[in-house]
Amino acid sequence: MYFPDLSPYSYGKGIVEVGVYNVGWLSSARDYSQGPCPEGFLARIDQRAQSPVNLFRGSHLCEFCPPPETEIRNGMEIIKPLPERMGDGEIRVVGRDGAVYAAPVMIAHYIREHGYLPPRQFIDAVFEDRPPSDKPRLTIGVIGDDDKTRLLATLSEIANQPK
């Protein structure tokens, strides 16, 4: 499942979670940013990956690793991926401006094995380690991309108004 870094988070049929952004949903069909992550970053990611949230998007297989072994059982082909090359659920991190970053637990593997360098905002947020907001998040259904952009712009204006 591919989503560009920092694109608005959505699941299902165009359901957008306002203020939530994708990080690390890589695909072998797309380029991704590479480079060394800061000292201690991966350890923090590993720690967060222990308790994933939101299993909406299902489990993921690494597209960069060779295809997993398969075996035939009762006439069906069963995939046997190495556990670290697949993942269930997400890591969610709160940024300084209240933005929430949603990364697949596979991000740890992408960083470790494939040299992935996540966006700066995400790295900062992981180090700053803010608790999640208890403010309920708006979830909206969307008609078209133009409407989505307009709606997101309006909602972020409302969200950023001083109280």
Q: What does the binding site for Zn ion look like in residue numbers (CB under 5 A)?
A: 62, 64-65, 113
Q: How far is the CB of 41 from Zn ion (least distance, A)?
A: 18
Nearer CB in complex with Zn ion: 55/82? 82
Measured CA distances, 33 to 4, 18, 90 (Å) = 11, 25, 20
Q: Which residues of 66-85 are buried (b: 16+ CB within 10 A; e: fewer)?
A: eeeeeeeeeeeeeeebeeeb
Query: Shortest Cβ distance from residue 63 to Zn ion (Å)?
Result: 8
Q: Give Cα separations from 12 to 15, 61, 80, 149 (angstroms).
A: 6, 19, 27, 18
Q: Which is nearer to Zn ion, 8 or 87 (CB)?
A: 87
Output 14 or 81, the one with its CB closest to Zn ion: 81
Beta carbons of 42 and 111 less than 8 angstroms apart = yes
Q: How far is the CB of 56 from Zn ion (least distance, A)?
A: 22
Tokens 């940024």, residue? 95
Rounded to a whole number of angstroms, the minimum distance from the CB of residue 111 to Zn ion is 11
Residue number with CB closer to Zn ion (84 or 147)? 84
- Judged by beta carbon, residue 65 or residue 159, the one nearer Zn ion is 65
Residue 5, SS3?
Answer: coil
Q: How far is the CB of 11 from Zn ion (least distance, A)?
A: 23
What burial class does residue 19 get, using C-beta atoms within 10 Å of its C-beta: 0-12 exposed, 13-18 middle, 19+ buried? buried
